[in-house]
Every structure is written in structure tokens, then in C-alpha cells.
Structure 1
Amino acid sequence: MMIEVISSFIAAAFGGFLYWYIRKTANDVSFTTDGLAKLVMHPSYKYLSFICLLICLVCIAGAIYDHERMDTTGFAFLLLILFLFGFFGVYGLLVYYNHTVLFDEQVIICRGPLGRVKRIAWADITDVVHDTNLAVVYLYAGSRERLSIQQHVKGFDEFRRTLVRQRPGFASRIKT
């Protein structure tokens, strides 16, 4: 009983620290030589992704070491853990290293996790949807082209302020 309480407290404290750390850097904006604001993913994505991949590595090492005693249920559970933590580890690293948002007063340029680059002018935005479960803001253009911006990019508050200036009607759709 006491171990569950302590582990729950540690998990809650770690989650609270991570939230505080991400919010602390919400105003950190860098600028390119062209004067575009550059938003990159928070470093916590990289660290959490490496932790997920480390969990996969430990599970693989444990399976190699103890494969003789592993039954079908254990093997299925191992595959589930490898798939979940491996997927989130690889996807987190792709997001960290590839997702970049560049914007100024005229245009938004976004490179997604798989390296695909999309561009939307502020004037072309027809809808804004904020998915709080995935922490993503979707910007839709007239042709229903969708631009996805992670909420955990460093400098997201500056992006939100620019959205208020450029498209004041949609600013209320982004929750804090």
C-alpha cells in the first residue's frame, strides 16, 4: 500500500515538474537571419523518447536473458510493451528533430515529424482547431489544407499572440 502511494506521488511530482518546465520556456523564441520566428520542440521530448527506447532495450535484454521461462502470455505482453514504448520513442524523436515552425506577419511555415513542409498565409486561415488531448493546434486554409503545430514548441505563446494580432476571431479557440 505504501509503495503505491509513494510511486503515485513520484509520478505526480515528475509530471508537475515536466509541465512547469515546458510552460517556463513557452516564451523562448529564436529568430532566423530572415527575421522569421523559429519555434522548435521542447528538449523534454528528446529525453522522454530516449527513456522509452531505453525501456524497450531493457525489455529486449530481459527477454534474451530469460527466454526459456517465457510463455505465450509473457511473449504477448513483451511485444505490447515493445510496440508501445518503441512507437512513442521513435515518434517522439521524429517530432523533436523534425517539427519546426517558422512564422512572421505574413506566413507560417511548418515542417512536420516526417519532414513534410507546408506553408499557409495568415490571411488564408479559415479555421483553427485546438486538440487539447494531443496538444496540437490545427490551422486550416481555404483549400482544407491542414497545418499542425504542436503546443509544446518553445515559443508557443508568441505564436498565440501573433494569431491574436493576425486573426483575432480565431484566438479564443486556443485554450491555455
Structure 2
Amino acid sequence: MAPSDIPTSLPSPELIAYSNAHNLIAEAATLCTIAVLTVILRCYARAVVIKSFGYNDWTMILASVMAIATLVCILLQVPLGLGKYTSVIQMDPVKYQHLLKIRYAHQIICNAAVTIVKISVAFFLLRFATVRAYRVFLYGLNVFLLAFMLACTGTLGTFYLLGNATRY
């Protein structure tokens, strides 16, 4: 870091006091509530009314659990500085490192949730696939999505971030 990049003063009290956390919580909680209610209504319609509960419904339930886990991650990050400016968060290195650990878990959960939704859509399309080639493609797509999600989850940076490896 060049000497000109070093901050010469601490952030102002207004900058330290500012937080956008209430907006982040409101948005995340609203969207999570709508998503979970939609999944509940969908499951009721599929299980009770239509009596045809399939793999795509189970994967959507799993995706909604991931949405709740994402909301929990956001709620855990707020006391650690989520919603504040980065320069303010970095003033406390211990809280900042803890925030980064939770944020990393948050990213993994979000990536898994998006992949699970894609798998659910593929399972839904399997209901309409009449040609064998389409079915093989959709099953192959599900295998690829699952393998891609698992392969991209455990990177080497995970061990460094969590303090489980030594740096050379």
C-alpha cells in the first residue's frame, strides 16, 4: 500500500453511525416471507388438491429452507456491521473477520439455493418430457448442476478464511 493510500483520519461520527441494516433486513424478510408462503401454498395445492407431490416439490421445499438460512445469515451479519461502510466495519478487525466468515457461509448457501431451484425446474420439466432424449438431457443437466455445485463449494480459500490451514 502506497503512503498516499493510507487514510489520514478516522471516519466522521456521522459515517460511523450510519447503517443501512434496517432496509436490508426489511427487504430480505419480506422476500423470504413471500417465497415461503408461496412454497407452502404450492405444496398444499400439489399434495392435497391435486394429490401429485413430486421431486420438484421436494426440491422447492429445500430451496425455501435455504432461503430461510440466507435470512438467518443476514440477521447474524447485522450486529457485525452489515449495512455500514467498509471503512467503518474494518475498524474492528475481529468483528470484520467474523463478518467475512458468515458472509462466506451466506454465499455458499445462496449458490446452493440457486442450484436447487434450477434442479427443481428441471424436475418440473421432466413431467412434460415425452421424448427420451429430452429426459436424458434433463437428468444429465441435474447431475451436472449438482456436481458443479459440490465442486465449487469447497475452494482452497475456505480453509484460509476459517483458519484451518497454514499460509506459505
TM-score, normalised on structure 1? 0.33
Structure showing the higher strand proportion among its residues: 1
Structure showing the higher helix proportion among its residues: 2
